Amino acid sequence: MTASVPPGCPPGGTDASHNFLLGGYCARLIENRLHWVRDETLGEDRCRVRTGEAPEILAGIRNAALWLMRASGLTHIVAALRRHAAKPLEALELVKNPTPS
């Protein structure tokens, strides 16, 4: 999965320390955006699965679900989750054809 550079992250300069500092800042913005959606919207931190490979598998499923929704042009993830919960056939169609409709 690729992430776009968030607004407020200037292009890197030629100085290594400049790139390190801004790169760390931008990486935190990207990570915080992804983590917030996974935690608040998908409840990742509330998940009680803690043993074996299950937590990593569930994180992959969550990432795939987010990618499918974003790749199909959905920007309001909470609304999309509610709609797909109410209309599971639309969710299956999204899995079969993840392009904007």
Residue 4 has a pLDDT of: 52
Residue 3 has a pLDDT of: 46
Residue 83 has a pLDDT of: 94
SS3 12: coil
**Average pLDDT of the residues of the chain:** 76
Question: What is the per-residue pLDDT across 50-76, written as a single tens digit (0 to 9) for each?
Answer: 889 999 999 899 889 988 998 888 889
The domain limits of the chain are 16-96
Measuring CA to CA, how many Å separate 39 from each of 45, 50, 54, 67, 73? Answer: 6, 15, 17, 15, 21
- pTM score, two decimals? 0.62
Residue whose structure tokens are 């909470």: 78
Which DSSP letter does residue 27 get? H
Q: How would residue 90 be classed by pLDDT, with cut points 50, 70 and 90?
A: very high
